[in-house]
């Protein structure tokens, strides 16, 4: 069978719209009644005012900043964001805090099961089946993504191997020892495991991984293809967040990502006005309403994810809406010397054209009146020293073409830049007012 839920995944478009509108209205009333944030925010608008999906525009977006404020009241630690009785909360999660104070996220047993079910769609769509023994090379701590992966793999019937409390070498030995054939990891850590395996004299392709599902960071398609080459396996992407859950995943066609409908009502809005839905092939900001999770009600949450809207059909036969590509985050877009810059463009160039670059960091600073953008790059230690100057020149040329900015390129000694397991922080804006993420 190709679908996790054959009925839900092949509904006609009109049915999705109808179901989502009806769920939205229910969630809207629930949020107004149970969450202090929405009691205040949605004053004056009633569920009856929402007669079509077009009426969603009447409802203000929910921003992360206001959620932080509402979290400071009782009951500790969830405050006015909690949608259920605090005694019904069974699991604590939190955001990573890369953009400010973390948000604490409560899950009741029912809400958690709802999240896991949505994740099963992502996993099944990526071809994970009961024959897979899936290695998770992390301790998951309080961060949600790999907990969802853990519980969803069990539900799909895979055999799950938690790989926390080991170093990278130990994890590589474990993969070989138990013959794991599936893995879920951040793209960065997938590359790092491959690098480490090579240094141990092990070809990453010989680890036996057939399928890899990436989480935790935006993944340029060049990085996905690089992982496929290194491990000689199929690599899939998905997108989501701690607050809205994982809301889209890649099917075996590997052509964009399917929105998990009707679990989520996803709008892709024009980034200037945040009002109008963009057309196919256009870039927009993603606004998500999870439609069945009541412990943490969210109405029109501004994810700040920028995506290109995809077409609504797929060779896999699923009928849900698609996104073509993840562009980055509105938080990461910066003006450098008057040019709009996204760090993801640099990663795309490096993974595609510069496989000898093993780690990198981008730093923007102001020197006098000038913005200076620097790429610190670390190359494979096996490369002859004579080729390093040449790589530096090629890097400057390719980055200029891709970003329209002149980069100051510094070649760093092997092992000098930090390595990341969960969220990589490779972009630093040190200018006054610039956010250092
Ligand atoms: Zn598909």
**How much distance in Å is there from the Cα of 319 to the middle of ligand 1?**
8
Q: 254: phi > 0 → left, psi -120 to 50 → alpha, else beta; which?
A: left
**How much distance in Å is there from the Cα of 414 to the middle of ligand 1?**
40
Instruction: Say what the pLDDT of residue 420 is.
Output: 79
Instruction: Say what the pLDDT of residue 393 is.
Output: 95
Read off the pLDDT of residues 86-114 as tens digits, 9 standing for 90 and up.
999 999 999 987 767 899 999 999 999 99
Which tokens in the block code for residue 267? Answer: 């709008």
Q: How far apart are CA 225 and CA 91, in angstroms?
A: 36
Which tokens in the block code for residue 9? Answer: 């995944």
Between 423 and 180, residue with greater pLDDT: 180
**How much distance in Å is there from the Cα of 5 to the middle of ligand 1?**
14
CB-based contacts of 85-92 (< 8 A; 24+ apart in sequence): 88/295, 89/295, 92/142
Read off the pLDDT of residues 205-238 as tens digits, 9 standing for 90 and up.
999 999 999 988 888 899 999 999 999 999 999 9
Q: What string of DSSP letters covers 22-57?
A: HHHHHHHHHHHHH-HHHHHHTTT--GGG--SGGGGG
Residue 380 in this model has a pLDDT that exceeds 90: no
Instruction: Say what the pLDDT of residue 1 is.
Output: 65
Report yes or no on whether pTM surpasses 0.85: yes
Instruction: Say what the pLDDT of residue 435 is.
Output: 53
Contact call for residues 251 and 274 (beta carbons, < 8 A): no
Q: How many residues does the chain have?
A: 437
Which tokens in the block code for residue 237? Answer: 């992407």
Backbone angles phi, psi at 184, to 5 degrees: -130, 125
What's the pLDDT band for 419 if we cut at 50, 70, 90? Answer: confident
**How much distance in Å is there from the Cα of 221 to the middle of ligand 1?**
17
Q: How far apart are CA 319 and CA 51, in angstroms?
A: 24
Instruction: Say what the pLDDT of residue 434 is.
Output: 66
Instruction: Say what the pLDDT of residue 97 is.
Output: 75
Residue 312 per-residue DSSP state: S
**How much distance in Å is there from the Cα of 263 to the middle of ligand 1?**
17
Residue 60 per-residue DSSP state: P
Question: Strand 370-379 to strand 408-412: parallel, antiparallel, or no bridges (unpaired)?
Answer: parallel
Residue 252 in this model has a pLDDT that exceeds 80: yes
Residue 201 in this model has a pLDDT that exceeds 70: yes
Least confident window among 305-314, 386-395, 419-428: 419-428
Q: Where are the beta strands (DSSP E) in 330-417?
A: 334-336, 339-341, 357-367, 370-379, 408-412
**How much distance in Å is there from the Cα of 155 to the middle of ligand 1?**
21
Q: How far is CA 104 from CA 10, 94, 238, 282, 329, in A?
A: 35, 4, 23, 33, 21
Instruction: Say what the pLDDT of residue 436 is.
Output: 47
**How much distance in Å is there from the Cα of 312 to the middle of ligand 1?**
10
Percent of the chain scoring above 70 in pLDDT: 98
Between 435 and 209, residue with greater pLDDT: 209
**How much distance in Å is there from the Cα of 129 to the middle of ligand 1?**
17
**How much distance in Å is there from the Cα of 257 to the middle of ligand 1?**
7
Torsion sign over Cα 323, 324, 326, 331? negative
Kindly give, in sequence order, each residue whose CB lies less than 8 Å from that of residue 351, ignoring residues fewer than 6 positions away: 220, 222, 223, 225, 226
State the DSSP H helix or E strand holding residue 17, giving kind and residue range, or none if neither. Answer: helix 13-34
Read off the pLDDT of residues 68-80 as tens digits, 9 standing for 90 and up.
999 999 999 999 9
Contact call for residues 211 and 182 (beta carbons, < 8 A): yes
**How much distance in Å is there from the Cα of 99 to the middle of ligand 1?**
32
What's the pLDDT band for 437 if we cut at 50, 70, 90? Answer: very low
Q: What string of DSSP letters covers 69-134?
A: HHTTSSSTTTGGG--S-GGGEEEEEE---TTSSPPEEEEEHHHHHHHHHHHHHHHHHTT--TT-EE
Torsion sign over Cα 42, 47, 50, 53? positive
**How much distance in Å is there from the Cα of 323 to the middle of ligand 1?**
11
For residues 125-144, average pLDDT: 94
For residues 361-370, average pLDDT: 91
**How much distance in Å is there from the Cα of 315 to the middle of ligand 1?**
6
**How much distance in Å is there from the Cα of 116 to the middle of ligand 1?**
20
Residue 144 in this model has a pLDDT that exceeds 60: yes
Mean pLDDT of the chain, nearest integer: 93
Q: How far apart are CA 404 and CA 397, in angstroms?
A: 10
Q: How far is CA 45 from CA 30, 40, 265, 276, 333, in A?
A: 13, 11, 19, 20, 34
**How much distance in Å is there from the Cα of 214 to the middle of ligand 1?**
17
């Amino acid at each position: 069978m190709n679908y996790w839920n054959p009925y839900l995944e092949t509904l006609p478009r009109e049915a999705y719209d109808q179901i989502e509108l009806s769920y939205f209205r229910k969630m809207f009333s629930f949020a107004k009644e149970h969450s202090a944030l929405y009691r205040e925010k949605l004053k004056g608008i009633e569920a009856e005012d929402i007669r079509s999906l077009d009426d969603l525009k009447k409802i203000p977006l929910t921003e992360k900043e206001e959620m932080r404020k509402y979290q400071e009241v009782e009951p500790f630690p969830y405050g006015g964001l909690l949608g259920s009785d605090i005694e019904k909360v069974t699991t604590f999660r939190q955001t990573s805090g890369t953009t400010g104070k973390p948000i604490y996220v409560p899950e009741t047993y029912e809400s958690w099961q709802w999240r896991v079910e949505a994740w099963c769609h992502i996993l099944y769509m990526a071809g994970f089946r009961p024959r897979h023994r899936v290695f998770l090379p992390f301790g998951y701590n309080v961060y949600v993504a790999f907990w969802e992966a853990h519980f969803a793999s069990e539900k799909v019937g895979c055999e799950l191997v938690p790989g926390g409390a080991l170093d990278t070498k130990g994890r590589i030995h474990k993969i070989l020892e138990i013959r794991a054939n599936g893995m879920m990891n951040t793209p960065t850590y997938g590359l790092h495991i491959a690098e480490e395996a090579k240094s141990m004299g092990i070809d990453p392709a010989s680890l036996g991984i057939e399928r890899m599902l990436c989480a935790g960071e935006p993944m340029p398609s060049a990085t996905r293809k690089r992982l496929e080459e290194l491990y000689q396996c199929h690599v899939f992407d998905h997108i989501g967040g701690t607050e809205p859950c994982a809301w889209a995943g890649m099917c075996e066609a590997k052509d964009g990502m399917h929105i998990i409908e009707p679990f989520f009502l996803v709008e892709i809005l024009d980034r200037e006005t945040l009002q109008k839905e963009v057309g196919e092939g256009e870039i927009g900001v993603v606004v998500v309403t999870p439609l069945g999770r009541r412990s943490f009600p969210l109405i029109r949450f501004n994810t700040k994810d920028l995506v290109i809207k995809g077409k609504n059909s797929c060779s896999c036969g699923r009928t849900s809406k698609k996104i073509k590509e993840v562009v980055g985050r509105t938080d990461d877009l910066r003006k450098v010397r008057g040019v709009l810059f996204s760090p993801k463009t640099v990663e795309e160039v490096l993974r595609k054209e510069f496989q000898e670059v093993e780690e990198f960091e981008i730093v923007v600073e102001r020197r006098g009146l000038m913005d200076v953008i620097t790429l610190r790059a670390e190359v494979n230690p096996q490369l002859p020293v004579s080729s390093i100057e040449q790589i530096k020149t090629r890097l400057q040329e390719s980055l200029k073409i891709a970003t329209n900015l002149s980069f100051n390129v510094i070649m760093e000694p092997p092992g000098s830049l930090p390595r990341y397991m969960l969220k990589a922080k490779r972009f630093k804006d040190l200018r006054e007012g610039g956010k250092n993420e």
